[in-house]
Amino acid sequence: MKVILSLIFVVLFILGCTSNKEVKTENIETFSEPKNIVTYVGKNYFNFDNVELFNIDIDEEKVFDLWSKKERTRDEEIFIEIIGNHDIPKSISDISFLTKIKNLGYKKTTINDSKNEELKNIFRFKKNSIIDSFACPAIYRDILVFKLKEKIVGIAKICFSCRHHYIVGTKLNTEQFGQGGDYEKLYEILYNKQMLN
> Cβ neighbours of residue 140 under 8 Å, at least 6 residues apart?
82, 83, 84, 157, 158, 159, 164, 166
Q: Are residues 69 and 154 in the same domain?
A: yes
Confidence at residue 110, expressed as pLDDT on a 0 to 100 scale: 95
Rounded-to-integer distance, Cα 40 and Cα 50, Å: 26
Q: Per mean pLDDT, which range of 29-33, 84-88, 97-101, 150-154 is the poorest? A: 29-33
Which range marks the domain in which residue 85 is found? 38-191
Confidence at residue 90, expressed as pLDDT on a 0 to 100 scale: 87
* Percent of the chain residues past pLDDT 90, beyond the cut: 38
Q: How many domains does the chain have?
A: 2
Average pLDDT over residues 53-79: 92
Confidence at residue 19, expressed as pLDDT on a 0 to 100 scale: 38
Q: Are residues 8 and 77 in the same domain?
A: no
DSSP state of 148: E
pTM: 0.75
The answer to whether residue 26 scores a pLDDT higher than 60 is: no
Confidence at residue 40, expressed as pLDDT on a 0 to 100 scale: 58
AA letter at 162: C
Q: Per mean pLDDT, which range of 102-106, 121-125, 178-182 is the poorest? A: 178-182
Q: Are residues 70 and 163 in the same domain?
A: yes
Q: Would you say how long the chain is, in residues?
A: 197
Mean pLDDT, the chain, rounded, equals 78
> Cβ neighbours of residue 24 under 8 Å, at least 6 residues apart?
none
Q: Per mean pLDDT, which range of 38-42, 70-74, 87-91, 182-186 is the poorest? A: 38-42
In a domain, 197, yes or no: no
The answer to whether residue 1 scores a pLDDT higher than 80 is: no
The answer to whether residue 33 scores a pLDDT higher than 80 is: no
More confident: 194 or 180: 180
Q: How many CA atoms lie within 13 A of 130 on its CB side?
A: 8
Q: Are residues 62 and 10 in the same domain?
A: no
| pLDDT range class, residue 13, cuts 50, 70, 90 | very low
Q: Do residues 154 and 146 lie in contact, with contact meaning Cβ atoms separated by under 8 Å?
A: yes
- Residues paired with 55 in a beta bridge: 107, 142
Q: Are residues 10 and 104 in the same domain?
A: no
Average pLDDT over residues 7-29: 40
In a domain, 196, yes or no: no
Q: Are residues 48 and 143 in the same domain?
A: yes
The answer to whether residue 188 scores a pLDDT higher than 90 is: yes
